[in-house]
Structure 1
Amino acid sequence: MKILFLSDNFPPEGNAPATRLYEHATRWVRAGHEVTVVTCAPNFPEGKLFSGYRNHWRRVEQIDGIRVVRVKTYITANEGFLKRTLDYMSFMLMGFVMGLFERRPDVVVATSPQFFCAIGGWALSVAKWRPFVFELRDLWPASIMAVGAMKKSLAIRLLEKIELFLYRRANAIVSVTESFREDLVSRGVPREKIHVVINGVDLDRYEPRSRDAELEREFGLAGKFVAGYMGTHGMAHALPKVLEAAEQLLHREDIAFFFAGSGAERGRVEQIVTERGLHNVRLIARQPKEAMPALWSLCDVSIVPLRDNPVFATVIPSKIFESMGMGVPILMSLPEGEATGIVRATGSGVCVPPEDPAAMAAEIARLAAQPQSVEGLRQQAWSSAAAFSRDTLAERMLTVLSEVRTR
């Protein structure tokens, strides 16, 4: 089968959409399928080109058997609604135009969270007379309103109409959560066209390991209980509240917080740490994907926060699966929903109310004082990871693509 996939994120970018697509595509290639990914020059989330790349009109490369076509786009940092919209629209246009020059595929797939990419994928499927699969990673534009970037307006209503248009035009929708499927069904999208393939973990890369001694020395973490946050520092993640929890634990010399990543809120995080003298917080910039297992090894618990908004009860942060793969217990701080249900059902971590620094600080202090409890959570996290293996999930999505092709 020949798969043409549009995504504006792809390695060496290391965010969740890029990782999911890469880990699925490599497995599809190993199974004998041809995969072409149309994407842009890597720049997320700082809006700066990665070393070795230029914003060419078109550049083709091979990454682990995947044919990667990078197209020229308007590049900006992951902040500011207008600039990001221009970024998204430029990829929609260029992805469609350059996709026209690709060999006719058996199926065209495009991914969200922003659906301008999906518009390009749908248009390309029409031009090539091929079925279109919409991979739904976020309820956009609902998530825009949830983080306060926009309020209900004529523009939002227009975006919602485009959103429903794409759901109806797609031959199949691959949702990353059951909650997303239920939301679409409630809005009139036929249940039978929606398939759920949640995020998972590459167990070839992530597995329990001893704390990296060199990094432990570099960041002064020896003898400390480390609460880590790994990933995008975005508007949705309520990181100032996590820093309030860190401030409440300043008196605990045995506890440290470790942040790795970048994003729209990174500057604010750095400002808060400096202004409040949070000497118990270590900050490092975004790291390449291959460095992440060593960084995860530093963590005794993985903080997974989101803002206190009902929209975030429907999401499943992908970092919980990497935590499981590394055998790192999860400290979840988001509205009760599908993600908290997974953590509770697997026994892989603990949950506290969202945007509640006092509850988070108290739970971290409790875990630091109860190593046996932490070890039990660690064992549960690791034993649960197999159920979310990327091997199984990639095969599940491939089945959806194959069924769409043969209809």
Structure 2
Amino acid sequence: MKIVYITQHFPPEIGAAQGRAYDMSSNLSNLGHDLHVLTTFPNSKPVKKFFKKEKVNKLTVYRSFRIRDTKTSSIRRLANYLSFMVSSCISGLLVKRPDVIYATSPQLFQGVTGYFLSRVHRAKFVFEIRDLWVDFAELLGQFKNKKLLQLARKLESFLYKKADHIVVVTHGYKQRLIDLGVQEEKITVIPNGVNPNSLPSLKGTSPIKHQYGIEDKFLVLYAGNIGAAQGLTTIISAAEKLKDDPSVVFMFIGEGVEKQKLMESATSLNLSNVLFIDSKRKEELLDYYEAADVGIVSLKKHPLFEITIPSKVFDYMSMSTPILIGVDGEAKEIVEKHDAGFYFEPENADNFVRVLKFVQSRPDKLNDIKRHVKDKLLQSFNREKQAEQLSETLINLTKSAKKKLQKKTTSF
């Protein structure tokens, strides 16, 4: 089967979206499918050409133009999305006779590309929803113009209706779509996970604590997007409550719209127990994960986040890092079911401190988690098995289409 896989996020850029796109497309290719990936040039570098075609292992990758996202302007970000939507529509015309157009969100404009190409190529349109983009944008105040919000809702509804099938990453997202009128049989749940062959072996020692002069500290790590949804002001508040405790240090690794504000807050509070580190490549992060005593997964307290499973849960589990999770719902259930860490109440700094000090007093429990959590993760969230599930879904979808076409032909 020939599949066009549309994703704005793809290696060499790093992140959860890039990892899922590469792993899923590669695994589908390993199952015998012909994968053509429509993506863009890395955002870290200026674009010097409109188009580039390359081979990445078994994948045929088409990189097309985009306006660079500076991550400081909503207008610039919108321009980034729209420019890739247009350029990927053009590059997608170069693929001959695909069977399936697979477009992955979070931003909806990749769905527009998917729908357009499915009509041009007369192929099945599958829309993957990794993020309830419009819901979260409204919740976080990113849609201040009500007319724009209404337009986004209409586009969302249009794409859900036109998609031949929809893939979501949580059962909560599935129920959300059903509540919006999407037929249940049209939705498949394929959560995030990890590729078994991409899991690195731990070295047993890490130079990070020595490098930062914190050998005798209990290291609490947050590595990921430092955005509005993460509710990380709670962690800064907790750090303030613990600033006279010499045994604990907090480390933030990553970038995002809230980073500067958090840094300014830590400075104004004279917090010597908080470190901010620039974003690191995936391979560079390994030593940090191994050095960490616990890793934080945090979102703001809201019902929408209770149906969200942050990919950071799987990142920490794959690196055998015990988790402090401040997210209710499905994410909390995964951590508890797999005995991967401890829960604290979202946006409650006092509760976070109490849980942290309890965890710090349980070194035997932390060592037990480090020994067993990776195996538990692979039993439940193996991307090779998830690709098999997706492959079966896509094959059934195209078989159904062929049967309908045959019936129409014989009826004449």
Q: What TM-score do the two structures reach when normalised by structure 2? A: 0.92
In structure 2, the CA distance between the partners of 1:164 and 1:320, relative to structure 1 (3 Å rule), is same
2:369 to 361, 377, 387: 377
1:317 paired with 2:310, answer: yes
Give SS of 1:188's match: coil
Q: Write the distance in 2 (CA, Å) between the matches of 1:156 and 1:75.
A: 24
Q: How far apart are the structure 1 equivalents of 2:90 and 2:178? A: 32
Superposed CA RMSD in Å reads: 1.8
Between 107-116 and 263-272, report the one with greater CA deviation.
263-272
Partner of 1:277: 270
Segments of 4+ in structure 1 off by > 6 A?
A: none
Aligned to 1:16: 16
Task: Name the residue aligned to 2:179.
Answer: 186
Q: Which runs of 5+ in 2 are unaligned?
A: 401-412
Deviations 1:117-150 (A, max 9, x none): 1111111111111001000011120000121222
Q: Which amino acid aligns with 2:132?
A: L
Q: Is residue 41 from structure 1 mapped to residue 41 from structure 2 by the alignment?
A: yes
CA displacement at 1:390 relative to structure 2: 1.6
Supply the distance in 2 between the matched residues of 1:290 and 1:67 (Cα, whole angstroms). Answer: 24
Number of residue-to-residue matches in the alignment: 399
Q: Which secondary structure does the structure 2 equivalent of 1:236 belong to?
A: coil
Contact 2:298–2:325, Cα closer than 8 Å, also in 1: yes
Larger mean CA deviation between 178-187 and 215-224 belongs to: 215-224
Please say which structure displays the higher CA radius of gyration.
2
Residue 25 of structure 1: aligned partner: 25
Task: Map 1:18-167 onto structure 2 (within 5 A).
Answer: 18-43=18-43, 48-49=44-45, 54-151=47-144, 153-167=146-160
Partner of 1:258, secondary structure, is strand
- Looking at structure 1, the residues matched to 188 and 314 of structure 2 have their Cα atoms a distance apart, in angstroms, of 20
CA displacement, residues 318-346 of structure 1 (integer Å, 9 cap, x when unaligned): 11112112221111112x21111211222
1:104-127 deviation digits (Å, cap 9, x = unpaired): 212111111111111111111111
Instruction: Identify the range of structure 1 (17-26 vs 191-200) with the bigger mean alpha-carbon deviation.
Output: 17-26
- Identity within the alignment, %: 31
Q: Is the 8 A contact 2:206 2:290 kept in 1?
A: no
CA apart distance, 1:383? 3.6
What secondary structure, in the 3-state scheme, does the structure 2 residue paired with 1:271 have? helix
1:5 aligns with 2:22: no
Residue 294 of structure 2 corresponds to residue 338 of structure 1:
no
The separation in 1 between residues aligned to 2:287 and 2:106, in whole angstroms, is 28
* Cα distance per residue 1:3-22 (max 9 Å; x no partner): 11111110111121111011
**CA offsets, 1:290-316, max 9 Å, x none?**
223222111111100011222111110
* Contact 2:5–2:25 under 8 Å retained in 1: no
Q: Whole-Å Cα distance in 1 between the matches of residues 144 and 368 of structure 2?
A: 44
Distance 2:192 2:18 in 1: 12
| Aligned CA distance change for structure 1 residues 211 and 239 (closer, same or farther; 3 Å) | farther
Match of 1:174 in 2: 167
Distance 1:382 1:208 in 2: 11
Q: Which residue of 1 aligns with 2:345?
A: 353
Pairwise CA distance, 1:265? 1.8
Q: How does 1:259-278 map to 2 (within 5 A)?
A: 259-278=252-271
Q: CA deviation at 1:281?
A: 1.8
Change (3 A) 1:272 1:188: same
Deviations 1:210-263 (A, max 9, x none): 554322321223122111111111111112221111221122222111211112
Letter in 2 for 1:355: E
- Does 1 or 2 have the higher relative contact order (CA < 8 Å, sep 6+)? 1
Structure 2 match to 1:298: 291
Which residue identity lines up with residue 191 of structure 1 in the other structure?
A: E
SS at match of 2:245: coil
Query: Offset at 1:277?
Result: 2.4
Residue 397 of structure 2 corresponds to residue 404 of structure 1 = yes
1:281 & 1:394 partners in 2: Cα distance?
40
Q: Which residues of structure 1 form unaligned runs of 5+?
A: none
Deviation at 1:89, TM superposition (A): 1.1
Find the residue that maps to 1:339 and give its secondary structure: helix
CA distance in structure 1 between the partners assigned to 2:116 and 2:205 by the alignment:
48
| Distance (whole Å) between structure 1 residues aligned to residue 284 and residue 387 of structure 2 | 23
Secondary structure of the corresponding residue to residue 251 of structure 2 = strand
- Residue 208 of structure 1 deviates from its aligned partner by 6.3
- State the Cα distance separating 1:404 from its structure 2 match: 1.9
